[in-house]
Amino acid sequence: MKTSIQLAQLGPLEQLRTGRLARRLSQLMIGLVFYGVSMGMMIRGSLGLAPWDALHIGLTHYFPVSFAWVFITVSFLVLLLWVPLREIPGIGTIANAITIGVATDLTMRMLDTPDQFIGRLALTVGGVLLCGLGSALYIGVQLGRGPRDGLMTGLHRVTGLSLRLVRTALEVSVLLVGLLLGGVGLFGIGTILFALLIGPLTQAMLPWTMIAVDTAPPPAAGVPSA
């Protein structure tokens, strides 16, 4: 049996057959909730948002629905772009599309924007740190990429462009649209901190959150396993 702590390329059924499912599902939900809470913290910090969140908040200015509905709708619209890219969603993909938006919405209802700058800065920095942890937790369970991450990796595979270039182009594009919809106030120190820290934070935490999965193919019928 071969077990790996590297990120494996697994289809939806393979993701569910690789063992430790109860632990992986629990960690998945904790990671997604942490991610949603972190987004709510940054939004209430009001010192600049991550690119996709700027787009989501910008859209709430034009549609009379909650942040959760905007997040979920954008998630499933992005999933439609997976079809020509031949990306395959997993259980984590669908959970990502729904759970993060709901967790963000609930966090925004419980938190207000502090009057003092130090309070807003604490929410913003804390949000970035918690987002790094949430990202590492849900990536580490290997139950499928989120809609936006899958769009990035799909474009990288189809176009042959570097992952860094594709990610940068996507995030700059959605940030610009978000600023056009919601105003330049959505850009700030939080945007810069997110851009600089989220990658290194997630990478640093992954070794502690990665759950090893069995990547060996099942034995053929009638052939005893070793």
User: pLDDT value at position 199?
Assistant: 86
Q: What tokens does 7 get?
A: 């990120």
CA dihedral 60, 61, 64, 68 (to 10 degrees): 10
pLDDT in tens, 38-85: 999 999 999 999 999 999 999 999 999 999 999 999 999 999 999 999
Judge whether 11 lies within some domain.
no
- Inform me whether the pLDDT recorded for 7 exceeds 60: no
**pTM for the structure as a whole:** 0.86
**Residue numbers of the domain that contains 44:** 20-211
In this structure, is the dihedral angle defined by the CA atoms of residues 207, 211, 216 and 217, taken in order, positive or negative? negative
In this structure, is the dihedral angle defined by the CA atoms of residues 204, 47, 178 and 147, taken in order, positive or negative? positive
pLDDT in tens, 100-155: 999 999 999 999 999 999 999 999 999 999 999 999 999 888 888 899 988 988 89
- Phi/psi region, residue 224 (left: phi>0; alpha: psi -120 to 50; beta: rest), is beta
Judge whether 53 lies within some domain.
yes
Task: Please state the domain count of the chain.
Answer: 1
Judge whether 186 lies within some domain.
yes
Judge whether 200 lies within some domain.
yes
Judge whether 7 lies within some domain.
no
- Inform me whether the pLDDT recorded for 212 exceeds 90: no
Judge whether 29 lies within some domain.
yes
